[in-house]
A and B are shown apart, each in its own frame.
Chain A
Amino acid sequence: MDLRALWMRPELRFLILFLVILAVGFTVIALRTVDETVVVPYTTLIAKASGGILHLLGEDITVDGRVLRSPRFSVTIYNGCNGLITSLIFISGVLAFPARWSAKLIGVVGGLLAIQIINLVRIVSLFFIGVFLPQYFSESHIFVWQSIVILAGVTLWIVWAHYYGAPQKEPA
């Protein structure tokens, strides 16, 4: 097998790079030190942001670490609910895809913001589902919103690759 020839095929190079970055990213966030110093504080920040939005929407909300508490409903934001995994998949796709570094930077910053906005909408909507339709909370949390968040990440990557992919030299 000619490995060099395989590496020269852009689609394979992309897939290999994508998998490597993804694997490294998932390994790094699994480390206890990274979890304690980055992932947990990040999730706490997401909880605070969600609490802020719920407060603006008139909810009597208290944020205690990663727990959102109100007299009507309480919800804990775990590591799988902070948008970090979808963000990692999106970032891996952007970094592995051939594009100018400026385009990659736009992709990473814009994509992260967009994914976090979608994730905040998810948390807020799940809170209200918990308040008004608690019997549907588990189903909405697991298959409705998780599917939407994954598809949103994939769509964002396709949109980015459509508009910003490939380093094209500007005509002189």
Chain B
Amino acid sequence: MARHKKSQPDLFRTFIRRLIPMLLLAMLVWGVLRPALDGAISASAQLLIRAFEYPRVTHLVTEDHRAQVRRTDLTTSRVPTVALTEIHFNTIVLLALFLSLPEPLSRRQLERLFMGWCVLLLSQTLNLVFHVKCIYAFDLGQWSLAAYSDLARNAYGFLRYFTDLPGRFSFPFLIWLGFSWDQLSGMINTSATEATPSPTRRRGRQSRSR
């Protein structure tokens, strides 16, 4: 087993110890914010879809934690829906990871959490956008075939796949990594993550030490 630095275990143990209580707290926060997240993601996705369509016909209605996909120019016997819980449940993971770090309520940590959450919301919005576009491209029979090319169908299918399970599972971790690298490097073996000084910098340091 490789050695690990003596200064790291405290941060590491604190993080591991806090993870389960913070997961429960994150679930509670998410549960409270769930209706607001449903509405925010649906509204952002609708805005984004309508920004690129003419005439603007898409209307997303949130009901029972699902987004109903309605078009004002089409009448279908069955209104397609997208489950919103599956799209934004990963907020729990992001919250749990941020809250498990030391001083989660400090200004710096709250700013990072806010920025990270915004990025995650964007990814969730894009996920819903691609779901809706895939409904348009695949599920509306002859209309889908006439309105979308094979290339468009493949592109939307590919984008939905990547923002679906792979994205939902990996984005919270990636966002947390990106915004908390300095703290993470205190938990893991820092010799692997410390910046390697460039030769110029090294020479500079040597000449200063002389």
Point out residues on A near B: beta carbons under 8 Å: 5, 8-11, 14-15, 18-19, 22, 26, 30, 79-80, 85-86, 88-89, 97-100, 103, 139, 142-144, 146-148, 150-151, 153-155, 158-159, 161-168
The main secondary structure of chain B at its interface with chain A is: helix
Would you call B196 and A154 a contact (CB within 8 A)? no
Instruction: Answer whether A97 and B192 are a contact pair too, CB < 8 Å, given A143-B30, A162-B187, A166-B2.
Output: yes
Interface string of B11-51 (1 = CB under 8 A from A): 01001100100010011001000000000000000000000
| A143 and B85 contact, CB distance less than 8 A | yes
The answer to whether B152 has its CB under 8 Å from any CB of chain A is: no
**B27→A165 contact, CB < 8 A:** no
- B195: A residues at CB distance < 8 A: 8-11
B73 to chain A, nearest CB (A): 33
A151/B93 contact (C-beta < 8 A), A97-B192, A158-B188 known:
yes
Interface residues of B (CB under 8 A from A): 1-4, 8, 12, 15-16, 19, 23, 26-27, 30, 83, 85-86, 89-90, 92-93, 96-97, 161-162, 165-166, 169-170, 172-174, 176-178, 181, 184-185, 187-189, 191-196, 198
Provided the pairs A162-B187, A166-B191, A166-B192 are in contact, do residues A147 and B93 lie with their beta carbons within 8 angstroms? yes
Whether B166 and A161, one on each chain, are in contact in the complex, defined by CB atoms closer than 8 angstroms, is: no
CB pair B187–A158 under 8 Å, yes or no, is yes
List, in ascending order, chain B residues with CB within 8 A of A154's CB: 93, 97, 173, 176
Chain B contacts for A164, CB-based, 8 A? 1-2, 189
Known: A153-B173, A165-B192. 11 other contacts (CB 8 A): A8-B196, A8-B198, A30-B161, A97-B188, A146-B89, A154-B93, A159-B16, A161-B192, A162-B4, A165-B188, A167-B192
